[in-house]
Amino acid sequence: MILASLIEREGRSLKSKQMISGIIFNRLKEGMPLQIDATVQYARDSQNKSVSKYWQPVTSDQIKQTNSSFNTYQNPGLPPRPICNPGYNSLYAAFHPTESDYLYYITGDDGVMYYAKTLSEHNANIANHLK
């Protein structure tokens, strides 16, 4: 359920959710931090009860300053509980991940998912597809 909740917040289509699922498994296998923005959004919004809009993008300062067991930039592994209620496609993707060598992904400003095997490829995707 925890994994499926992360996938729910990160992917749009079943195909992208399955790819994200595989990437999360790859990161866990490598011992890498998951670094999932949605976990920081959840932690930030849960700590600030006066938030009027939830799931807004996080800043690099918020990533650094949000002290929570849900912050997957600061804490290894999965968060302690689900961050949302996952739908069927996210549950399916959690059990049927796409195998790949990818370790990184972003959703570009055009709504397309971009995947990378290395940090330098990921940084190029960020430079090319996010403003």
Copy the structure tokens of residue 55.
């799931």
pTM for this entry: 0.90
Strand blocks (E) in 9-131? 104-107, 113-116
Dist CA 47 CA 66 (whole Å): 9
Give residue 51's pLDDT band: very low, low, confident or very high (50, 70, 90): low
Phi then psi dihedrals of residue 107, to 5 deg = -105, 115
| Structure confidence at residue 116 (pLDDT) | 97
